[in-house]
Chain A
Amino acid sequence: MEFEFPWWLRVEHFLNIIFLSFLIRSGIEILGTYPKLYRSQHTVPGTAWAQFTIQRAAKHKYYTVGGEYDDYSPRFSLPGRGLLGLGRYWHFIAVTGFVTSWVIYIVLLFGTGQWRRYIPTSLDTFVQAGRDMLSYMAFVVPEPIGGMPFNAIQQLSYGFVFLILTPLVILTGAFQSPAVANHFSRITRMMGGRQVIRTIHFLCMIGYIVFVVIHIAMVVLHGYGHETSKIVFGHTDLQIAGGVVFTIGLALVLVLHVIATRWTLTDGRAVEKLHNIVARPWSNLLYRLPARMHYDRDNVSGKDVQLKNTTHNFRGSGRPPETPEYLALMANCYEDDYVLEIGGYVERPMSLTIAQLRELASDHSQTTLHHCVQGFTSIGKWHGIPVSDLLDLVKPLPGATDVVYLSFQDMGRDDALYEGGTYYESNPMIEARMPQTLIAFDLNEEGEIPAKNGAPVRLRTETSTGFRNLKWLERIEVVNRYDIILEGRGGYFEDADFYDRNQLI
């Protein structure tokens, strides 16, 4: 069989340059919003194995996760300037193309028999790869294997990238999704937990960067025109033209990045629309994966992990409400004064005190992994009542589509990092009815929820990223449409920033 460079392979190579470069730049943007890598999913302060920030934490003050953002340059990250939501949009747009392209490529590889160009059919290939490595180190360019377009070490390298590194980056990327990770929580644990998965995903990115650098060096070593002619025309007959066309192609990719970066920084909503067209059709499928986590808070791995490895400080994000009303509730320990109102598009609106919530909950609890959209994780045991049970009590009217949650928190008033507006969130009914969507009133058997974690009552939406788990809950409203509330995007961060309401990824 001839191992030439068929047109689909050459197209895929060019598409990969675009998708990979977009994935790496947007990935750096995502990393920059929580620029720390851990081995433990408890993200214990001070235990990061790597940090990518020049910030030093305040020594004498409570600081929130929102302050972790680092402001990377738009030259490196897409779009830069700590715009996580837009970085996520680009990551998901690019990953849609990358995975689609890879699947088509794999089908064509195996369908045409071209897989042999990457998968060695003899153990001798490994021995030869060792010899080739020695040759390179001796400054001697090794010869290709007979009938193959490249030598043994190139074959193994490309095979590794296409058939091991790429599936691994897709798998660890998929498990960054709270819906996937929390539906398949046993697999999450088998893979070492959320932070190990995040670390592997990062190392995969480093793997791609190292591969690209070596690949470019090898192309230059083997002859730029010779190699680019193969990947442009499929043969080595037009070396100058190949070099010129390929260089123009690279310049176009560069221009594409400049346009994408500037466009994103000037019109984020347009990028959001593009994301909704490209990524939502598949991300909406994740609503079929309800969370089903059952962690043991002190014993995640099945072994005794000691106190130092438990989430003894469930990280807070956002600042508690600073109103006389809320402070009075806090001063009176909530129990007597707090009333949760549930109303709106329902048959039987009602008000419930914490005591009544406790009684209705019948000691129901869930121990779950919290996925912050920025990247931190914590494990918490929540006592509460499923939203589904509350909905059964208030009986939504026919046509009710969403459940809206209002917080005591006003972002502009309470948190210097953000501009004004009441914090609110909404669940589509399918998400509100999931078994682990919970109205919680107790964290880690402490009898209550600490103020920084949302006292006295908060929402847990375990299929979703952290910011949609609204804290300091004041009122629940069932509605028949959410798109007429404020900016119509379904939540504070959805309205004020660039986050999709579908936060299943």
Chain B
Amino acid sequence: MREDQNSPALRQGVDFRDTPNATARVTEHVRPGKKRAPLLRYIRINLTRTTRLLLLLVIAVIGIASATTALSGHEPFPSAMPFLWLVCAVSAVFVAGGLLTKKRIWPIGLGIALASLLIYIGGLLGNAPYVWNGATVTLAAVWNTTLFASLGYTVLYWALNYGMIVASPDDQNFTD
């Protein structure tokens, strides 16, 4: 007890005694009966501001690509224009909110990505601006960008929740 009374850490209220990794290293995510964790659990990136900007950028790309598709006049399916403009508008609000605040808005981004993905699937069933449907190469590329960016955001969102990446204001809290 004397040692405890003299501990600077304890005097500061820091008490790790009896916690699992007080004096020994612990491994996380290892399932019972296994030696190692799933491969992707080993990856943890702590570029928080870059990740935040990347997530915003992907949604910005979805918004711009949706607007470009809407402006082209090539409707992917009947009455698609309002949906494209809605995705564009929400994306703009999302990006502005992401840049001007520190809020964790990532589920909203997932909603935008999934909405864009739904529009793309609608286009598959309708008259999407592909080259073989009479669209220019550039327009077809822009249209497909909504697919790639939506899938990209979904993957990033999953990685965010899995712990592989973190976006500002969060942090991996590496302690070494």
Contact = CB atoms under 8 A, between A and B. Distances in A.
Interface of A: 35-36, 45-61, 63, 67, 70-73, 76, 131, 133-135, 137-140
Nearest to B141: A137
Contact of A139 (B9, B131, B175): B131
Given A51-B174, A57-B21, A61-B22, 13 more contacts: A45-B175, A49-B46, A52-B42, A52-B44, A53-B42, A54-B27, A56-B21, A56-B27, A57-B175, A60-B9, A60-B16, A72-B42, A76-B39
Contacts of A67: 25
Contacts of B140: 137-140
Nearest to A135: B137
Q: Kindly list the 6 A-B residue pairs having the minimum CB-CB distance in the complex, ordered from nearest.
A: A138-B140, A45-B176, A137-B141, A59-B16, A138-B141, A61-B23
Contact of A49 (B21, B25, B41, B45): B45
28 contacts: A46-B175, A46-B176, A47-B174, A49-B46, A52-B42, A54-B27, A54-B28, A54-B36, A54-B37, A55-B28, A56-B25, A56-B26, A56-B27, A57-B175, A58-B21, A58-B24, A59-B19, A59-B175, A61-B24, A134-B138, A137-B140, A137-B141, A137-B144, A137-B145, A138-B137, A138-B144, A139-B140, A140-B131
A436 to B, nearest CB: 28
Contacts of A58: 21-25
B36 A139 contact: no
Interface in B8-50: 9, 16-17, 19, 21-30, 35-37, 39, 41-47
Contact of A50 (B37, B45, B137, B138): B45
A379 to B, nearest CB: 18
Contacts of A53: 42, 44
Contact of B25 (A47, A57, A139): A57
B172 interface: yes
B130 to A, nearest CB: 7
A59 B45 CA distance: 21
Given A59-B22, A71-B35, A137-B141, A54 B176 contact: no
A134 B142 CA distance: 8
Contacts of B19: 59
B29 A54 contact: yes
Interface residues of B, number: 38
Nearest to B17: A60
A54 B145 contact: no
Contacts of A72: 36, 42
Given A45-B175, A56-B28, A134 B16 contact: no
B77 interface: no
Contacts of A138: 130-131, 137-138, 140-141, 144
Contacts of B141: 133-135, 137-138
A437 to B, nearest CB: 30
A309 to B, nearest CB: 16
A64 to B, nearest CB: 11
B43 A52 contact: yes
A139 B130 contact: yes
A52 B163 CA distance: 12
Contacts of B41: 54
Interface string B128-158: 0011000001101100110010000000000
A140 B25 contact: no
Contacts of A133: 141
Contacts of A50: 43-47
Nearest to A133: B141
A51 B46 contact: yes
Nearest to A50: B45
Contacts of B23: 58, 60-61
B74 to A, nearest CB: 13
A139 B141 CA distance: 8
Most A CB within 10 A of own CB, among B16, B27, B41, B176: B176
Nearest to A59: B16
Contact of B36 (A59, A60, A71, A134): A71
A141 B3 CA distance: 73
Contacts of B25: 55-58, 63, 67
Contacts of A45: 175-176
A55 B131 CA distance: 51
A58 B23 CA distance: 5
A325 B145 CA distance: 71
Contact of B144 (A60, A73, A139): A139
A59 B174 contact: no
B97 to A, nearest CB: 26
A57 B20 CA distance: 11
B176 to A, nearest CB: 4
Contacts of A49: 45-47
A71 to B, nearest CB: 7
A407 to B, nearest CB: 25
